[in-house]
Each structure stands twice: as C-alpha cells, then as structure tokens.
Amino acid sequence: MNYPPITITFLGTGTSSGVPMIACDCPVCLSADPRDKRLRSSILVASAATTLVVDTGPDFRQQMLTHDVKKLDAVVLTHSHKDHIAGLDDVRAYNYFQQRAMDVYATEATQRRVEQEFDYAFSAIKIAGVPLINLNRIDETTPFMVGDLLTDPIPVWHMRMPVLGFRFGSFTYITDANRIDEASKAKIRGSEVLVLNALRHEPHVSHFSLKEALALADELEIPQTYFTHLSHQMGFHSAIEATLPPGRNLAYDGLKISL
C-alpha cells in the first residue's frame, strides 16, 4: 500500500524520571539548553486524516497543551509501565470536545494493567467526569489500522517484559528495550528512520546503552536513527551530538520529522 505522508513529533524524550530529575543538581539537570529538558517519552504521529499518540505518560496533558493538539483519534500503548500510561486519564478532555470515547490500542497484558490502574473508568456504575476509553486488543504480530495509518507491532524485550515497538510506513519507533529477536529485526529492516531507546553510556539491565543502540542501528543498516528515552546520565545534548556519526542523532522534545 502507499503509505500517507506523516509527521512525527517527539512529545518527550526522557526516561521515567524525566530531565531534569527531581532534586538533582547535576550539570545536565541544571542546563539552560532546552534540548536538555526532557519529558517522559512519547510521540505524536499525524497524517492529513489521523492523529495518534504512542504512550500517555505522566506529562501527557502538558505535551498536548505544548503542541496545541486539538484532535486526537487514538492512543497506542507500548507497555504498561507508569511512565507510559499514567496520563491516560487526561483523554477526558478529548472525550468532551470530540463527543466520543478514546480508542486505546494495547496488548491483553497492557489492557489488564490499564483496567486496574483506571478501574473507575471501567466500573459498571459510571460517575461524571471519568475518562471514556474504548479498549482495542492487539497482538504482537498482526498489523492494524488506526484511521488511514497502518500500524505494525514489533515485539521487543525490556529485560524479561515483552514490549511493543511500532512501524508506521518507513518509520519505526522502539522504546524500553534491551534485546530484539531476529524476527523483529527483520520487521525493522528497510526503515528510513528508526527511533531507539538509549538510556545512558553505561550498560543497563533493561535498556540499551548508547553504544548498544549505535551498534544495532548499524547492524540494521538504518540511514537515520534517533535516540530517545535518555537519562541525565547521558550528558549534555550538544556534547553527545558532537560525538555521533552521520545519520545518528539524539532526539529532543519538539523535534519533528516528515516522511
């Protein structure tokens, strides 16, 4: 199929604590460079007809206001950790203005966690002001449509936890991973742009380090790779950017890509 033109906006590029981190006085957290201010990781994917977000972390409301997102068709969730779902309650505003429930796409395991975390939204007894959420179950291998956007799940591993990345045409987004099986690598190959998590320089039990993420981007022969889910331990944006090879860049909040 011919994929529609899309624009990707990085709503957040930070790890679970964000940057700056609460109570931290390290040089990165005190940086005046706006590229060193990182909300929790999320992207907005928009065609002419459809707008969706991947993950609704604790900063979801702020991100929607910052980017003046008046219309939102769906939420697509990578997994159930708090820094990826905690802001889901704020779809209430879209319920009100769009006069419909918000479609949320997630695996069965992630759906169960959403139903637990936001149990009041799924209660048989409805009270005023609760978010209206329409859960759509997806699996790890079957592409699905969100409006005119074909969304292809890519299973990856966050230590022992299965997490989904997603491919939209020639764009692939992967966060919270430290291992990718060969079958999933095959689904990523051929992407023009890859977004990959890179927590810090030192190895981590459940996230790629920058060195590991660089090696994977080269292995998959991706022309342009952006690194996200960055902690303050990564260092200054400007300093790290100066060390990266062509086609390899740190993402930053507000970055837009058009494909």
Averaged pLDDT in 10-residue chunks for the chain of 259 residues: 93 98 98 98 98 98 98 98 98 98 98 97 88 96 97 96 97 97 98 98 96 98 98 98 98 98
- Residue pair 106/146 in contact (Cβ under 8 Å)? The answer is no
**Is there a domain that residue 2 lies in?**
no
Q: What is the CATH number of the domain that holds 211?
A: 3.60.15.10
**Is there a domain that residue 56 lies in?**
yes
Q: What is the pLDDT of residues 214-237, one digit of tens each?
A: 999 999 999 999 999 999 999 999
Per-residue confidence (pLDDT) for residue 214, from 0 to 100: 98
Within 10 Å of residue 30's Cβ, how many Cβ atoms?
Answer: 11
Q: What is the pLDDT of residues 60-94, one digit of tens each?
A: 999 999 999 999 999 999 999 999 999 999 999 99
**Is there a domain that residue 1 lies in?**
no
Task: Name the residue range of residue 88's domain.
Answer: 7-258
pTM: 0.96
Spell out a b/e string for 87-117, using b for 16 or more CB atoms within 10 Å of the CB, else e. bbbbbbebbeeeeeebbbbbbeebbebbeee
**Is there a domain that residue 162 lies in?**
yes
Cα separation of 58 and 63, whole Å?
Answer: 10
Per-residue confidence (pLDDT) for residue 1, from 0 to 100: 64
**Is there a domain that residue 174 lies in?**
yes
**Cis bond upstream, residue 245 (ω within 30):** no
Question: Considering its fold, how many domains does the chain have in total?
Answer: 1
Per-residue confidence (pLDDT) for residue 124, from 0 to 100: 87
End-to-end CA distance of the chain: 15
